[in-house]
Amino acid sequence: MQIFRNPGPVEWAALQERPQAASNAAVLARAAEIFDDVAQRGDEALRQYAAQFDGVPDLGSLRVSPEELAAGAAQVPAELQVAIRQARQNIEKFHAAQRPSAVEAEVETMPGVHCWRRSVAVPRVGLYIPGGSAPLFSTLLMLGVPAKLAGCREIVLCTPPGRGDGRIAPAILFAAQELGLTTIIKAGGAQAVAALTVGTGSVPAVDKIFGPGNRYVTAAKQLAAQRGVAIDMPAGPSEVLVIADSSANPAFVAADLLSQAEHGPDSQVVLLTDSEAILQGVVAELERQLPLLPRAEIARQALAESRAILLPDVRTMLDFSNQYAPEHLILAVAAPEDLAADIYNAGSVFMGHLTPEAVGDYASGTNHTLPTGGYARAYSGVSLDSFYKKITFQQLAPHGLAALAPVVEAMAEAEGLRAHAQAVALRREHLAAKQ
């Protein structure tokens, strides 16, 4: 890790820069080409990309059959099945508590003018679940559980076919089976996002797309948004920031940093501490733990773009963190409760020495689909609300129209929108004639 000691606030912006992805314009251009191709050739294009990118020359059906689903799910070891079921229960319990009232309280904004809102599930959602070297069945739980709780009418799961054999990872199939998902598409990358956006013979078009992915998936989601399909949030490489005081355990902190670094070479981890002893201890623990990881080389590349920063006190560290706006924030301090109220930019916060970020990634119950790259300044992570839209209603009684009409007519005339004024005036005159 790069080590910095007592940088002043004027230096913070440079230290908070995320690793830059090479040639984002080129990535967007390639994603756009794939988008256009899928729009024109549909399933044929998806099969071609499965051969090109996933090494599956003869994919066959793009949809997972009921037999494939059952057979794949049955391969999951019993211990993992128990773990997935427990994680699902925790996620379901936390998100069910977020369920809104079907109809919010009606408000009479002035006599005879009634307004209210109703929460309605997004009808058709697409869940993109990365496969490859790390099939993220945990992400399927994070997205599938709230989608089912919200009551989305159609849930389409896209995940890449396994390299060579075209099979979906058994744990993803087991999680899908637990959630009752049946529309499972063997497609990954930008081509899957394109298919969910435009629809193909095998892939239904959806209204909103959820899920993480590589640079091409992220670019494709941006293109989907341009075509009128909503997305969960802007997303990029995973990241964690740890605030550690002298009470922290260096081994714990190093493990937390490595748990994010192993996600990918473009992940970023940041350590803030007011203790030179903790800084040195964490660096030593990183050197000890790193070679033991199966994904050590990936983590090593991430650490090269990561930082350990010595700052004078906890409050200064908190100021740095709020400016950085981390996806994950770990408060490895003696009294995390004293800091919690002053956190205003973070995706998800992990309180104290016994709350590693890994529990949020899997099974505490909170959602791990979170804003990265500083977007936590303005975006929330995925929640049950993400799968709802709010529809407003209003209804006027005769005396309500009579009272409100002069207000609307005056405003419409001032803006030069005569038809707006006329729509109200005609009704006002109609009511007056009946009296």
Residue 238 annotated as part of some ligand binding site: yes
3-class secondary-structure state, position 372: coil
67 is catalytic: no
3-class secondary-structure state, position 79: helix
Residue 260 annotated as part of some ligand binding site: yes
Whether residue 193 contacts residue 226, with contact meaning beta carbons closer than 8 Å, is answered with no
Q: Quick check: 435 pLDDT over 90?
A: no
Q: Quick check: 20 pLDDT over 80?
A: no
Whether residue 106 contacts residue 393, with contact meaning beta carbons closer than 8 Å, is answered with no
**DSSP H or E stretch at residue 393:** strand 388-396
Q: Quick check: 302 pLDDT over 80?
A: yes
Question: Using the 8-state DSSP alphabet, how is residue 12 labeled?
Answer: H
Residue 415 annotated as part of some ligand binding site: yes
pLDDT in the model for residue 23: 57
Whether residue 216 contacts residue 30, with contact meaning beta carbons closer than 8 Å, is answered with yes
The Cα 158–Cα 163 span in angstroms is 15
Amino acid code (one letter) for 127: L
pLDDT digits (tens, 9 = 90+) for 236-256: 889 999 999 999 999 999 999
Residue 249 annotated as part of some ligand binding site: no
* Cα-Cα-Cα-Cα dihedral sign, residues 45, 49, 55, 61: negative
Tell me which of 239, 285, 305, 327 is the catalytic residue: 327
pLDDT in the model for residue 24: 79
Q: How many CB atoms lie within 10 A of CB 17?
A: 12
Q: How many CB atoms lie within 10 A of CB 208?
A: 22
Q: Quick one: pLDDT band at residue 148, thresholds 50, 70, 90?
A: very high
> Mean pLDDT of all residues in the chain?
95
The Cα 98–Cα 109 span in angstroms is 27
pLDDT in the model for residue 131: 85
Residue 214 annotated as part of some ligand binding site: yes
Q: Quick one: pLDDT band at residue 234, thresholds 50, 70, 90?
A: confident
pLDDT (average), residues 224-232: 96
Q: Quick one: pLDDT band at residue 235, thresholds 50, 70, 90?
A: confident
Give the architecture-level CATH label for domain 236-380: 3-Layer(aba) Sandwich (3.40)
Maximum separation of any 2 CA atoms in the chain, in Å: 88
Whether residue 21 contacts residue 27, with contact meaning beta carbons closer than 8 Å, is answered with yes
The Cα 203–Cα 212 span in angstroms is 19
In this structure, the dihedral spanned by the alpha carbons of residues 380, 17, 271 and 129, taken in order and rounded to 10 degrees, is 50
| Backbone torsions φ then ψ of 425, nearest 5 degrees | -60, -40
Tell me which of 95, 262, 328, 368 is the catalytic residue: 328
Start-to-end Cα distance in the chain: 81
Q: Quick check: 102 pLDDT over 80?
A: no
Residue 226 annotated as part of some ligand binding site: no
Least confident of 98-102, 183-187, 370-374: 98-102
pLDDT in the model for residue 269: 97
Whether residue 168 contacts residue 158, with contact meaning beta carbons closer than 8 Å, is answered with no
Whether residue 111 contacts residue 126, with contact meaning beta carbons closer than 8 Å, is answered with no
pLDDT in the model for residue 123: 98
pLDDT digits (tens, 9 = 90+) for 417-426: 999 999 999 9
Residue 361 annotated as part of some ligand binding site: yes
Structure tokens belonging to residue 195: 């298919």
Q: Quick check: 370 pLDDT over 90?
A: yes
pLDDT in the model for residue 236: 80
95 is catalytic: no
The Cα 175–Cα 147 span in angstroms is 14
Q: Quick check: 413 pLDDT over 70?
A: yes
Q: Residue 184, class by beta-carbon neighbours within 10 Å (0-12 exposed, 13-18 middle, 19+ buried)?
A: buried
The angle that helices 24-41 and 43-54 make with each other, rounded to 10 degrees, is 140
The Cα 242–Cα 239 span in angstroms is 10
Residue 420 annotated as part of some ligand binding site: yes
| 321: alpha, beta or left? (left if phi > 0; alpha if psi -120 to 50) | alpha
Return the CATH class of domain 24-105+118-231: alpha beta
pLDDT (average), residues 386-408: 97
Q: How many CB atoms lie within 10 A of CB 38?
A: 29
Domain with CATH 3.40.50.1980 in the chain: 24-105+118-231, 236-380
In this structure, the dihedral spanned by the alpha carbons of residues 145, 147, 153 and 157, taken in order and rounded to 10 degrees, is -80
* Cα-Cα-Cα-Cα dihedral sign, residues 46, 47, 48, 51: positive
CA distances 98 to 160, 178, 392, Å, are 31, 21, 20
Q: List the strands of the sheet with 388-396, edge to edge.
A: 107-110, 113-121, 388-396
Q: Quick check: 22 pLDDT over 70?
A: no
pLDDT in the model for residue 21: 53
The Cα 313–Cα 128 span in angstroms is 41
> Within 13 Å of residue 290, how many CA atoms lie on the same side as its CB?
18
